[in-house]
Chain A
Amino acid sequence: MDQSLILKAENIKTWFPVRGHIARDGNCVKAVDGVSLSLYRGKTYGLVGETGCGKSTLGRTLIRLLEPTEGTILLDGTDITHFSPFWLQLYRARMQMVFQDPYSSLDGRMHVGDILMETLAIQKRVPRKERMELVLQILTDVGLLPEHFYRYPHELSGGQRQRVGIARALLPEPELIVCDEPVSALDVSVRSQIIRLLLEQQRSRDLCYLFISHDMSVVRYMADRVGVMYLGHLVEEADTDELFEHPRHPYTQVLLSAVPTPDPRTHRKRIVLEGDLPSPLDPPTGCPFHTRCPRSARRCGEQMPDMRECAPGHLVACHFS
């Protein structure tokens, strides 16, 4: 087996049952519906898609914050798909998460230092005496100062809070970090600082990132390999340059054409998409994208296309590309 493979997920389905008077019993929101992917040491996997496509749910499922309805997740060869909370705790340190909104993901009543000390206390890996030193070290690593130890989250700026969020994720010395829109809430100048921090840490610690974002330009910059999601399905996956230069799936093409470029001379041909995302409660039959697809044919409404390799390492789920 490939030495650098950290996590392998096969045919992951995460369904949420809906209760209530509108939906009949047994109805489910199929947030993630049959996704397979592999994550490698030292690499970044970018996951893109629009609101509600299931990218966050997938990220949370992969590190077992959620339990999948079907499928298998292998962490370094160990099947963690249905681990109990007790067993999971032993593996938590290896998989961490950075959230989008560092304000609501940090406890407002604790000092920054206490928030960081707490992760070490739960882990019990480091003797009590050494914890303080470790926390001060990580604060400098992420570009904060030792005096931030006694600050509350509300006293920090957005960028500083995100640094605390990253410090917390780094403390258990994980191999894999799921970054769920880590720079989306930040201003342009701060965003590039955080991106640089993430890249530096990746290099020095040989980390694997699952980088979830709706911002195509940031993903192009960060990721080695990119997966595009639509309505709970992975519709295309390829190495970053290949995907951005030769997008095969019609949805990827639409998505890329909609991204504005900071150059007033380029006038792109924009593919404008009709309508809105269908409800995941009542997804279309066949290919999930066929209701809005410019290339849709009858076959698309009947048969779900499989992921197949159209070029080396380039996977696409479409009958026609």
Chain B
Amino acid sequence: MGENILEVRNLTTSLNTERGRLTAVQGVSFHVEKGEILGLVGESGCGKSVTSQSIMRLYDEKRTVKYSGEILLDGENLLALPERDMRRIRGSRIAMVFQDSLSSLNPVFTCGEQIMESMRIHRGFTRAEARREAVDMLRLVGIPDPEKRFSQYPHELSGGMRQRVMIACALSCRPELLIADEPTTALDVTIQAQIMELIVELNRKLNMGVILITHDLAVVAETCRRVAVMYLGQIVEEADVQSLFEHPAHPYTRGLLKSIPTVSGGRREELNIIEGTVPLLSQIPRGCRFRPRCPYAAPACAETMPELNVLPSGQKVRCFRAKELSEAR
């Protein structure tokens, strides 16, 4: 077991919205080891992004959000820090890459200036030092002709190139933890392959922890070592990649895995269907949250919420019938 760079314990995030107070993340616990890629998967609205933004504490704490639980970065609880100290951590020890690079980069600054910004703030570099380092960063993320790209604006670059610039920005202060929130969703497959390869390579080279948030199980299978599956604000299953894909324990994970067509798979063999859709946060069902869509639901599932239990295989799963179902297989 490696050292944990991040440990999230029982994190609950609730947000004030027009529809009242909604709990978007409920009792989530996981950890990320140094030099490891953890996959956080789930469909839209299941709380993956809220979890990651809670780690960065990006919500308006005066009005919108209430956190509880602990987020330990190298043993230090981020939720207990005053805002002033949190600012020193954001962008320097934890960095983030977002999905939409065009709206996340500032259109009125050149790419180089945006990479330099955090280095000048956090590492106290002079302009000249920062410039040299920024060009190195552009080279590191595989951008040809970095000197020229340094002084170009985001709109002058292609989508894949912009995503590389974002990664360069995020890595400019050598963070210990990188949160990549759907980094390849808007990109074509060939470009997606390039970007994922880059993230894996940098993860090895710089020995940083990575949280890869995605809805694409195939991407997870190829890059991560451990995976946590989220549904409606909770982790429903956590396991190493091998066991999760070979014998998924939670009915939701099973359903998801069977409902993706593959390039190698035969045609027209029935795709599994998970009936219905993810309910709204304001209409969370009683008992097990997956029960209304679950093909294995029993009367007990409607009564109480199952805990996240550890199976003999080492998988953690939030289901009353997991043991019985895994034996029946």
Query: Do chains A and B stick together as partners?
Result: yes
Residues of A within 8 A of B (CB): 50-51, 157, 159, 187-193, 195-196, 199, 214, 216-218, 220-221, 240-241, 244, 254-265, 270, 272-273, 276-277
> Which among A196, A240, A244, A270 is the interface contact of B273 at CB below 8 angstroms?
A196
Known pairs A216-B263, A258-B192, A260-B193 / 17 extra A-B pairs, C-beta < 8 Å = A187-B43, A189-B277, A190-B277, A192-B271, A192-B274, A199-B268, A214-B188, A216-B189, A220-B263, A244-B263, A257-B193, A261-B222, A262-B217, A263-B221, A263-B262, A264-B221, A264-B242
A187 near B215 with CB under 8 A, answer yes
Residues of B within 8 A of A (CB): 43-44, 158-161, 188-194, 196-197, 215-222, 241-242, 245, 255-257, 259-265, 267-268, 271-275, 277-278
- Which residue, A51, A187, A244, has most C-beta atoms of chain B within 10 A? A187
A260 near B267 with CB under 8 A, answer no
Assembled-state Cα–Cα distance A218/B267 (Å) = 10
A273 near B43 with CB under 8 A, answer no
B190 near A192 with CB under 8 A, answer no
Assembled-state Cα–Cα distance A216/B218 (Å) = 12
> Which among B189, B262, B271, B278 is the interface contact of A262 at CB below 8 angstroms?
B262
B277 near A157 with CB under 8 A, answer yes
Assembled-state Cα–Cα distance A221/B262 (Å) = 8
Kindly report which residue of chain B lies nearest to residue A268, judged by CB atoms. B222
Q: 10 A–B contact pairs at CB < 8 A? A: A157-B277, A189-B255, A192-B271, A214-B189, A240-B267, A258-B193, A260-B192, A261-B221, A262-B217, A273-B190
Assembled-state Cα–Cα distance A240/B266 (Å) = 10
A217 near B190 with CB under 8 A, answer no
- Chain A at the B interface: SS class: helix
Assembled-state Cα–Cα distance A262/B197 (Å) = 16
Count the A-B residue pairs with Cβ separation under 8 angstroms: how many? 123
> Which among B193, B263, B273 is the interface contact of A217 at CB below 8 angstroms?
B263
Taking A261-B264, A262-B245 as contacts, is the C-beta distance between A189 and B189 under 8 angstroms? no
Assembled-state Cα–Cα distance A278/B234 (Å) = 44
Taking A188-B43, A220-B265 as contacts, is the C-beta distance between A262 and B257 under 8 angstroms? yes
Taking A217-B260, A272-B193, A272-B194 as contacts, is the C-beta distance between A265 and B242 under 8 angstroms? yes
Taking the nearest CB of chain A, how far is it from the CB of B42, in angstroms? 9
A273: chain B residues within 8 A (beta carbon):
190, 194
Taking A258-B190, A262-B245, A264-B221 as contacts, is the C-beta distance between A191 and B259 under 8 angstroms? yes
Taking the nearest CB of chain B, how far is it from the CB of A26, in angstroms? 26
Taking the nearest CB of chain B, how far is it from the CB of A267, in angstroms? 8
A276: chain B residues within 8 A (beta carbon):
158, 160-161
Assembled-state Cα–Cα distance A264/B37 (Å) = 14
Kindly report which residue of chain A lies nearest to residue B266, judged by CB atoms. A241
Assembled-state Cα–Cα distance A263/B188 (Å) = 20
Taking A192-B274, A193-B273, A261-B218 as contacts, is the C-beta distance between A50 and B190 under 8 angstroms? yes
Kindly report which residue of chain B lies nearest to residue A53, judged by CB atoms. B188
Assembled-state Cα–Cα distance A261/B257 (Å) = 11
> Which among B161, B241, B255, B273 is the interface contact of A264 at CB below 8 angstroms?
B241
